[in-house]
Structure formats: C-alpha cells, structure tokens
Chain A
Amino acid sequence: MARTDSNEQVLQGTLNLLILKTLSLAPMHGWGLTHRIQELSRDALRVGQGSIYPALVRLEQGGLITTEWRTTDNNRRAKYYRITAAGRRAMGEELASWKRFVGVMDLVLAATS
C-alpha cells in the first residue's frame, strides 16, 4: 500500500543528496543544476527538471543552502544556490545513510537471487 510513498521518498532522498553534492563543488543556478545532475545521473530527474525547484525551496528552508541573484555569463539575472556549512554536514550524513541503504540493497539482492 505504501509503494508510492517509499518511491517518492527514495527519489526525494536521492535528489537532495545529488543537489547538495553538486552544489558542494560550485554555486550554481537552477538550470545549471539540472544539467549537471543529469550528467551525473540520467534517471534522477526523469520525472521533470522542474522537480528540483520544490527540493531547492525545502533545502533552503532547512538552512542547507542559501541563494542570491547574480548575473550570468550571458548577462542575464539568475538565482544562484550555494551550500552552507549545515548543508555540508547534512550531506555527510546523507552519504553515510545512502551507503547504508546501498549496502542493505546488496544484501537484499544477494538474499533473493
């Protein structure tokens, strides 16, 4: 019964992690993020590039990232996202839990094959 829920949760967790990981390399605007993430993982944004915007708002609410309006190389105004210290800490935890999950999945796959 909770299938959708857990899928959403998986996706959400993955997306948050990907955003934080990407921003930890360099501040970026939304469109740039989507393309960088798509380069890293073709699947995470399959549901739509737009899905990062709610995620970005939540991360900002959580104090994991901050934003500022800047001018792009093409001389256009865009909103840039930057990871905070709290964001880096959270990313560390996320990564650890991700690794745990992957480990668990391995066990699961090993058990059922």
Chain B
Amino acid sequence: MRPVPHTLRAALARAREMVHRRRLDRELDDEIRFHLEAEIEHNLARGMSPGEARRAAAIAFGGVQRYREEARDARGFPALDAVARDIRLAVRRLRRAPAFTAGVIGTLAVGLGAATGIGALVYGVMLRPLPYPDPDRLVRISVATAGLGLTTTEQSSGTFVYFAQRARSFSALGAYMENEGIAITQGDTPERVTGAIVTTNIFDLLGTRPAAGRLFREGDASAEGDPVLISHELWQRRFGGDPQIAGRFIELNRRPRLILGVLPPGFGVPSRAAAIYYADRIEATRAGLGDRYLTVVGRLAPGVTVRQAQAELDALAAHLPERFPELSAEALRQAGFRVTVETLRAAVVAPVLTELVLLAALVGALLLIATANVATLALLRAERLRGEVAVSRALGAGRTALAQRFVVEGLVAALAGGVLALPIAALAVTTRFGFTAGQIPRLEEVTLTPGMIAGLLGLSLLIGLLLGLVSAARARGGGTAQTLRGDTRSTPARGWRRAQEALVAVQIALALALLVGAGLVAVSLLRLRRVDLGFSPQGAAKFALVLPFRAYPTYQRTAAFHLSLLDSLRAVPGVSAAAAAMQFPATPQLLYVHPRLEAERDPGRSAQAMVTANLVSPDFFRAMGIPLRAGRTFLRGDLAAPTPAVVLGASLARELFGTENPIGRQVRLVSSARYPAYRVVGVSGDVYGERVTDGVLRVLYFPLLGDLTPGSSDTARVPFVPAGMHFVVRSNLPVAALMPAFRHAVASLDPRVPIWDVRTLNAIVADSTARTRLTMLLLGIAALGTLLLGAMGLYSVIAYAVAGRTPEFAVRLALGATPREIMRSVFQDGAIVTAVGLAAGAGTSLLGARTLRAVLYEVSPTSPLIYAGAAMVVLVSAAAATYVPARRAGNGDPARALRGN
C-alpha cells in the first residue's frame, strides 16, 4: 500500500516540513542515535562487551546512511514528490524492459518525426494562411478554356475591364501579372529581377501596409516617369533598409524610376520573387482567348457570398459576345469558356490538391501505424506483467494506483519518443526531403513552428496516455486469484488476442496500400524517365535574357541582338552549337496561337485548339538535338518571303494534315488577318511542356532570322517580338566554366542586359519530374516504415502466442506430432492475420489509388501486377516474421517444456 495524503491538513504538514527540513534532519539524526544507544545498552545488558555491543547494534540497524537517506527521501512536497517518484519508478521499470521501451520510443520517434516533417512541408507549402486581413473575403476570378487545351486560368485585359466595370458583387477587383524581364541597370553588374505589373488598387484590396514610404494610389498608373514600389528584400539588399527610401531613384532597364515605397517583408503577390512593382491602368486592349496574362483578384462586397458573385459573373459572361467580336457565342462555346469565382485560399491550394490530400493521408497513416504498433507492444507487455499486477492487487494496490503506474510509464516512454522525433522532424525539414527550392513552390519557407513542436509533444503524450490506459486495462483483466493460481503466461484472453491481431491486420493493410501507392508512382517515374523528351539533354546548358522594350522595340532590333550574340557564343572555345528560342521544352509554355489550314481542298480546317507557339533560330533543332522528321529548318530569306516559313511539330502536322505531306502546304492564324499565310518547310520531332504527364506539345515554330532590314516597317510578319529569349549552348565543357565567357559575350553587346536561369538541360529534365519524385519518395518511406512495423507487430504477436502455447506444443510433440506440423499450425495463425490485412489493404488501395491519378503516368491505378507485387512483398515479410517463432515452436524440447511452466 502506498499512503496517499488525502487531506489539506496533510499537505500543509508536508509543506511545513519543507520549511523545517533542517530541523527534521536533526531530529532524525537524534532519533537514530537514540535507537543505536538503546540497542547498545540492550546488548550490554545481555552481557556483550562494549565493542561487541556497538558492532552488533550497527549490524542490526543495517546501513545508517542508507536508511537516513531513505527516510529523508520519503519527505518533501506531496504532489510533486509523488510525481517525481512515479517518474523515477517508471524510468526504472522501463529500463528493465529494454525491448519494449526501445520499440515504443523508436516507433514514436520515427513515426511522429516523419509525420511532423511531412506536416511541416504540407503546412509551409500549401496551408500557411495568406497574410492578408479578412482573407476569407478575398476571391480569385479565373477563366478556364478547357476546350482550347490551355491550362492557364488568367484573364485578358478585355474581360478583366469588362467584369470590373459591371460586377456589383465586389467592393474592388484588381489584377496583376508577373514580368520577368526587368533589369536593375545601376551599379557595376546589371541584375535581372522579377517584376510585377499591378492595378493601383491591388494593395488596398489585399489590405497591405507599406514597410516604408507609401503604396500605389489612383493616378500612379498614369504618373510621369512610371514610379515603382520595391520589395522589402530589395530594399534591404540594395538600399541597406534606408528609411528615407521614398523619393530616391532606381535605374530599371536604363531609366531612373522614382521609388514611392517598400512592400512588407514576405509579400507574395504575384510571387515572393517579385522585387519591382509597376502600376498599370489596364485598358481593354485585347480580349482574345490566347491573350490572357492577368490574374484577377477581388474582395467580396459586404454580405455577398461566393455563390452570388459566381451567379452575377455567369450572367455577365453571357453578354461578352455583344462587347467583343472575337468572343462570339460560338467561340466561347467551343473554347469551353467558363468564369469561376473561388476563395483566394482555395485558388492557392488547388494546383497542389492531389499532393495535399496524399500527404495528409500519409501523415494519418504514419500516425495510425505508430499508434497501432505501440498499442501492440503495450498489450503484449501488459500481458507479461499480469502476474506481477495480480500480486500487487492482492497486496491492496488500488485500481487507480495501478492505472497511474501504467499511465506514467506510457507518458514517460511516449514523451521520450516525441522528444527524439524532434531532431528527425528537424532533419526532414532542413534537408527538405532532398529537394531544392524552386522545384516545389514555397519550399524555402518550410519551418518547424513552435505550434508544430507543441503539437508533436502533445500528440506523443496523448499516445502515451492511451498506451497506459490500454496496458492497465489489459493487465487488470481476469480475476486476481485465477491469475495467480494459473500460469500467467498462458494464452491470452480471446478478446485481447483478437484486438492484437486486429492491430497487426491494420498495419498489414496500410503497408499493402502504401506499397501499392509507392509501386504505382515508382512505375510512373520509371516510365517518365524512359520517355524520350524529344531533345538530348546531355552536354547542354541554357540561360535566358530579356531585352528592354525601349532600346529594342522591334523584331528587327531584337533579332539583330540575338543573332550577334549567337555568333559570339559559337566563337567561345568548346561550344559546338548555340541557338535561341522564345519558349523552352520541358518548362512552362506561355505563348499560344490558333492555326488553321490555308488549303484549296479543305478551306475551313483548323487545329482543334490553341497550340504552343515558338520562335527559334535556325540552329535550334540541331542544338537541342530535336530531329527533323521531314523538310528542313529555317534558311536565310525564309522570313522576307511572301509566305514566311514555319516548322511544325510532328503531332501538329499530323493533326492538320493527317497522312498527307505537309511540306509546302500553307497555314494561317485563326482570326488574325494582319499576319500572312505561312508555308510549312519542315516537321520536327515532338517535345513536351512543363509536365510529361500532360502529353506532347503541338508546336508551331516561327523563325528568328535577320532577313528584315532594320528600317523596314514590315514588322507584322510573325506574331511575336522576341524580346525575351532562352539560349541553349551545347558543349562538352561544364557550364560553370563557360558562364564567364557567356556573360562577357552578352556584356560586349550590351553591358546592361543581365542573364538568368542558367541551368543544364539535365537539371531541367530532373526538375520536370520533381513532383512525381517527391510523391514517390514520401510514399516509399512510408511504405517501408509501415512494412517494417507491420512485420515487427506480426512477429511480436506470433512469438508471444507461441511462448504461451509452449506446453501445448510440447504435449503434441510428445504425443507424436512432427515439428513440421507444429510449425504449420503456427504459420496458419500468422496466415489468417496476414490474409485479413491483405484483403483490407487491397480495398484501401483501390480507393486510395484514385487520389494518385494526377501523378501517375501510363500506369493504371488498378494495375494487377503492382497489386500482386506489393502483396508478395507483404507476404514474404509476414512469412519471415512468422518463421522465427514457428521454428522455435517446432524445435521445442517436449521434456523441458512439460517440466517447466
């Protein structure tokens, strides 16, 4: 029995003791001295010599120091003291059960650590609240044109102005777009930064406050000299955080711009990279479905719901054809034109929803597995302790005291696991699962917040509590007398055995589901890897630059610059080929046109949807390693010809001309009468866009040629002015070694044009599969962990059952059963649990694989081969986990087993 102080009086007495500790110590010493003297006198009276009497007294007392300490330890402040003692005892007991303790701590450290790491990733990348006041009233208004094969959801200036002028559901509508081609040209080295063009009301609408100076107000868009705002990062880096920044100038694209103010740190519109903000009074200049670059956001007017706003915009969209001739009812219908109002938060999360759901499921699975595993361990241990618990109860230990013992043990072990999980989570976060920033949006912002750490520790305590309560319930089960009389290690009660088996089955099911997921993604990745991207990434690198519009306003001026630069690049030793292109394969595509046939036989036929447009130098196909399937590449004179030359990607050629030979045939751009008819001179191999899973691009290539004389007014030969260009350079030397030469080549043409986006083509290919690789990595880790834990759980349960049935096996062996038969019966037990788990896991996989669809490539979510493979892995693991205890059962020595317990 453990005396528990119940009354306030007792607690006060103890508190008083604390104060009088010293006096109590002295009293204790007095008391012990009295005891020893009384004992010595007693011994003397029995005729011992003084020496003998003294020695005998000391021996009878036994360790003066020890009991003095123990008596002193028994004092102290009641509650704290009791807790401290419980914890000390729990630690001692846990240390004497190393297998159990290591199992619990290890499982929780890995499970909680991984779950927290993934959780931090999910939160940082996808869920972190938008830093705007009243964010739930912020909406994004996007336009989808599924029928055109365009993935963009931006609006044209035409539709933006149309809606902004008419819609009553919003207190304000604003728009912005990213502008990559801004160069800071002051100082020694030009620097290219990302800029943004925004409507002046955007900051008011979002509720942004300046860090210095002021933000835009109405009128800034038409102000003389285009005043700008700068990002907090640029302010710190370039201006040392000068508080008097407003009124200073910054030279952008060679023109000084007045700085009005500074945005707050971490401002994320259009992206965190944006460093310079221009104001623009957007006018309804273009409404074409391919001219959509504006992201439109709004703040809902008071009392208006998203649904009501949607209804209003739907009604307004129905009248678009009356305002814009290019948006005829027929064109809108064909394009699948649709306006959508959604909360800004939903809009931010939508592109990564698949990963979000998947990762959330992974976190859930990890926690479930860790808890199930720990519960299995606790149940097994509690059973082993039933004998001991029965003795304690016989001695009068109450239910509460017993429960308390197990709960404290559970809490201590689980908290240790939780604490060890912290470095694992931190490692996951700092290594960012091996991914570099840029491959996953907002990845650099992923951190462990105090809230997450508190959550992790709280969760571990919760699991510890559960662990303790389950153990206590199990250990107490059955009558005391019965337990003491019987063999305490006998076969566990039926219900509990079922519970343990169910836990193991759950783990096996999850292991199978995760393995199937990992398998599907792995096969997808293999298929993706084996996809011929259409160009040869080995030994090639690229960089990009943008020419400022003021200095290079025409096709001729830009083309002259690019072609001279190509000449300089080819002159760099080690360079075997150099080419320029407006858009780059395996990266996001931004330019689109809608071509149709200009053919006598079939006048109306056009491409089914918008196609990717590109504008390339003649060497492009050779430098990229893109094969020409038919015809030739561009030649000098191709642009100045009455029908300028174009090259078609193979899939576009097939779409437009079927099996006919496209060489020499003509195409036109739909509803763009100002451009001439084009003559097809070649067909190139297909390439892919940002994601291979979206299929090959249908590309129309326009030429970059120096045919047109600089003074020529005939600028409308092609629909693009190639201000921004990607340059690809093929060389067997590493890029880093060549970069200085490239920079020099650019600088010698124009010292104030910065270059950026320097990457090897191999890196581009790797980045394009980053999403799938991250998914596979996470699924793989979770699957392996689950499999391991599931196998451990199965092993524990079977091993325990075997230990309990040793006498039974011994009798059967003695009665002539062969070891093989015994082993078979043990295997049967394991097989039933495994089979149930596999069946449940297959069901879970079939449901769960659907969520993976977005990252799967050329593999069916129900691929029988992968299901069978995953099941085989689980089966083999389960068999291995069962084999060891089964062998032990079969090899038992009957005589010893019968003699022993």
Measuring CB to CB, which residues of chain A are less than 8 angstroms from any residue of chain B?
1-2, 5-6, 9-10, 12-13, 16, 29-31, 34-35, 47-51, 53-54, 56-59, 61-64, 69, 76-79, 90, 93-94, 97-98, 100-101, 103-105, 107-108, 111
Contact = CB atoms under 8 A, between A and B. Distances in A.
- 3 nearest A-B pairs in the assembled complex, by CB-CB distance: A48-B62, A62-B3, A50-B67
Interface of B: 1, 3-7, 9-10, 13-14, 27-28, 30-32, 34-35, 38-39, 42, 60-64, 66-68, 70-71, 73-75, 78, 93, 96-97, 385, 388, 391-392, 394-397, 480-481, 484-486
Nearest to B74: A57
A10 to B, nearest CB: 7
B45 to A, nearest CB: 12
Contacts of B385: 2
Nearest to B27: A79
16 contacts: A2-B93, A13-B1, A16-B1, A34-B35, A49-B35, A49-B60, A50-B32, A50-B68, A54-B70, A56-B71, A57-B71, A78-B34, A103-B481, A108-B485, A111-B485, A111-B486
B34 A61 contact: no
A62 B9 CA distance: 11
A63 B4 CA distance: 9
Given A1-B97, A2-B385, A31-B39, A54 B62 contact: no
Contacts of B93: 2, 5
B392 A6 contact: yes
Nearest to B59: A48
Contact of A104 (B13, B34, B75, B394): B394
A53 B394 contact: no
B471 to A, nearest CB: 14
A53 B71 contact: yes
Contact of A62 (B5, B39, B395, B481): B5
Contacts of A10: 391, 395
A1 B396 contact: no
Contact of B484 (A58, A77, A93, A104): A104
A61 B485 contact: no
A12 B395 CA distance: 10
B63 A79 contact: no
Contacts of B64: 50
B5 A61 contact: yes
A59 B71 CA distance: 11
A5 B6 CA distance: 25
A79 B29 CA distance: 11
A108 to B, nearest CB: 5
B70 A31 contact: no
B396 A31 contact: no
A82 to B, nearest CB: 15
B30 A50 contact: no
B39 A9 contact: no
Nearest to B3: A62
B30 A77 contact: yes
Nearest to A53: B71
A57 B96 CA distance: 28
Contact of A97 (B63, B71, B96, B396): B396
A111 B68 CA distance: 42
A35 B57 CA distance: 12
A79 B27 CA distance: 9
A93 B74 contact: no
Nearest to B78: A61
A57 B14 CA distance: 11
Contact of A13 (B31, B39, B395, B484): B395
Contacts of B484: 104-105, 107-108
Given A50-B32, A50-B63, A69-B27, 7 more contacts: A5-B388, A10-B391, A16-B3, A49-B62, A76-B34, A79-B34, A101-B395
Nearest to A103: B481
Contact of B14 (A6, A61, A78, A98): A61
Given A6-B391, A101-B394, A54 B32 contact: no
B395 A63 contact: no
Given A49-B35, A104-B394, A54 B60 contact: no
Contacts of B97: 1
Contacts of A69: 27
A77 B34 contact: yes
A20 B874 CA distance: 61
Contacts of B73: 54
B79 to A, nearest CB: 12
B486 to A, nearest CB: 8
A93 B62 contact: no
A100 B394 contact: yes
Contacts of B7: 63
A53 B71 CA distance: 6
Contacts of A2: 93, 96, 385, 388
A90 B4 CA distance: 11
Contacts of B68: 50, 53
A31 B437 CA distance: 76
